[in-house]
Structure formats: structure tokens, C-alpha cells
Structure 1
Amino acid sequence: MRTGVHRALLALAGLLLLALGGAVLAVGLGAPPPSWWLHTGPHDVLLTRAERTRWRDAAWWWPTVIAVLTVLVLLALWWLTATLRRRRPAELLIDTGDGAGAQLRGRALESALAAEAAGLEGVTHAHVVLRGRRTKPAVRVWLQLDADTAPAEALAAFTAGPLTHARESTGLASLPAEVRLGEVKHRAERVT
């Protein structure tokens, strides 16, 4: 949901800026201005002399304008870096022993771990997310347990089974894991 909203907002902002920039370019090259355009022709200035000098005597005006523009630029840069940064590695580098190495897709490891964890006794659903870097991955696991399953036993079974298999099959020295346990929601039983 968050990524869908984020992409929609990014697309909307991009389309708005593209339309505005295209309109400015078209009017500047001599095209007739659209009906919603603020100015009358290509030789109009964006700010008239009166508009530019209106706040000249106010000592707060230019520092405020510069501060607001600086905050907007910093927010745009933060948004850009947050968009470009990957939180999940797309693939892992596996040492095969021959010096060349291999690449394992991160989603493949996630789905294999989740499938094996969901097959454990007392676990009804498992969700796995790969975190970290390509050379030092970590996993975040959510396990939904049956109502009568002991959390310590489920955690021990996951650590000894799926997590150990994943670490050994990838050849990693360690595979840190954050495991969150939850209980399957069920209705209360009626006693008559």
C-alpha cells in the first residue's frame, strides 16, 4: 500500500511538473498561451519590477524565501534518496569456491525460507523479508502460530530447521534473523 501511494504521488508530481515546464517552454518559444496562463505572451516577465521590489524594505522577506526554498530542496533530495535506496537486496553473492561465485535472487531465498517455515509443526503462516547487504544479509521473519503451539518450541524449530538450511545452502558464515511470533486469530469456543 505504501509503495503504491508513493508511486502515485511521485507520478502525479512528475506529470504536474512536466505539464508546467512544457507550458512555460511552449509560451517562451512563441506558442499562444493557454487560457489558464498567468501572463499574456512570450515577452512577459514572471515577476514585474513592482512585484520584485514590493518586499525590499521588509528585512524578513528574503531570508524567509531562501529558507523555504532550501527546505523544499532538502525535502526533494531526501525523497529522491529514499526512493533510490533499496532496503532489500535483489540478489546475494554466494561463494562457490571456484573464485567466480554465483548470484542467488533474494526473492528465491525469501520464498524458500517461508515455505519451509510454514511447513513446521504449529506454524500456520510464515512471511520472510531479506534485509542487509548482498554480502551480509539478514532476515526478518513473521511466524503465525497455532493457539496451542509453544513459542519457544516454534522458535527453536525454525532456528534448527529452515534458518540453518538457508545459512548452509548459501554458504554464509552467519545469517542473523529477527523473528516475530504471532498467534492465529480464532473465535472463542462456546461451552454449553
Structure 2
Amino acid sequence: MSRLRSGTNRSTLFCAAAVLLFAGAVLASAARPVRERLPSTVPRVDADRVWLDEELLGRWRDHGWWPPVVITALAVGAVLFLCWAAAQFRSGRLRELPLGQPGVTLSARALASAMAERARGVDGVARAHVRLLGRPRRLRARITLVLDPDGSPEAVLRELARGTIAEARAAAAPRALEADVHLTTRRHRARRIH
């Protein structure tokens, strides 16, 4: 996920949380048990407050322009929210990588499989899984390695950077390729003595 998208998501969630928290606090201040416990300096809503009286509703009913405006605004808001939600649920997984000529592409799955195969060949690596994310111009490889119990993480990372990642960057050039490596260790199985 890009920094701009992540920052936009956080800002949106923060604004929505602030609005909901403020609305909840205002509505809670109308309840008698909450109102009695609030300090005298805190503004509160009267319990018998009428939010929309009949006179105000009558005035609004005289104007025929506001129902279509409200419905249109709500519909636009719902469509924008659905677009934003669809963008969040997109996995970000890269399907194809366009090569120099039109119509010539490299399957991202094939590149990820080749990277995983090369990573499994590194001394000390028991299992490897690679997933390519991002956009065709800026790639990110998520590499998960399971090391043998006696494998050295430093040696594995050095060999991975010199071999697998360097070859993938050469294959993806001139695009940038970032690599996130997650290391875990395979545990020894306990031996039973009979």
C-alpha cells in the first residue's frame, strides 16, 4: 500500500471517528445519568430537546428543491464510499508485468515462482514463498522464508540480496523492485527416547 493511500485511509478513518465520537458525546449528554455526572463546565443537550419541530418541518415542506438535493448528496456519498471500499479490498496483487513491446507481458505469478525457486536454493532455507504486489512501474516482492534450525539469517539475507533479489531487479528493470523479507525458523522436532 502506498504512503499516500495509507495516509488518506488514516485521515479518513480519523475524521469519521472524530465525527462519530462527537455525535455520540452530544447524544449521550442528553441522557439524564450522563448529564448528572458531567462537570458543570461541559456543554450538554437538554433531555426534552426537540430536534425538528412541526413548524420547521412545515417550512421545509414548502420548498420542493431540498428532497432531490439531499437524495442526490446521499447517493453520491454512497457511491464514493463504495468506490473507496472497493479500492481497499483490491488485493494489490500484480497479475502481469508489461515488457518493452506492446502485447508482450510477463506473468507476475511466473516471476514470483522463479524467485521462490531461487530462494529455496539458498543454503539454510527450508521453504520460500514470494508474492508480487504493487503496480507495473513500482513492484514490491513480499518474500517469506522458513529457515533451517541451523541456518544463519545474516548469511541467508546476504545471499538472497546478491542472488534472487538482484536477478529479479534485473528482470524487472527499468522498474523499481522493493523487497520485504520475513524470516521464520523451522523448529527441531522433539526426539522420543524409548
- Normalising TM by the smaller chain, what interval? 0.5 to 0.7
Q: How does 1:17-166 map to 2 (within 5 A)?
A: 58-59=50-51, 73=78, 76-83=82-89, 85-95=90-100, 100=102, 102-166=104-168
Q: 1:60 to 1:110 in 2, by over 3 A?
A: farther
Counterpart residue type for residue 80 of structure 1: A
Q: CA separation of 1:78/1:155 partners in 2, compared to 1, >3 Å: closer, same or farther?
A: same
Change (3 A) 1:173 1:106: closer
Structure-2 separation of matches of 1:179 and 1:101: 32
Which of the numbers 176, 185, 188 marks the counterpart of 2:187? 185
Q: Partners of 1:170 and 1:78 in 2: how far apart?
A: 30
Structure 1, residues 25-46: CA drift from partner, whole Å, max 9, x if none?
xxxxxxxxxxxxxxxxxxxxxx
Q: Quick one: which amino acid aligns to residue 118 of structure 2?
A: E
Structure-1-length-normalised TM-score = 0.54
Indicate the percent of aligned positions where both proteins have the same amino acid. 33
CA distance in 2, matches of 1:171, 1:90: 17
Q: Aligned residue for 1:10?
A: none
State the TM-score, normalizing by the size of structure 2: 0.54
Q: Secondary structure in 2 aligned to 1:87?
A: coil
Where does structure 1 lack aligned partners over 5 or more consecutive residues? 1-56
Paired residues, what number?
127
More helix by share: 2
- Does the 8 A contact of 2:133 with 2:141 survive in 1? yes
CA distance in 2, matches of 1:172, 1:144: 30
Partner of 2:43: none
Residues 168/81 of structure 1: CA separation in 2 closer, same or farther (3 Å cut):
closer
Q: Answer whether contact 1:126 1:141 (CA < 8 A) is retained.
A: yes
Runs of 4+ in 1 over 6 A off after TM superposition: none
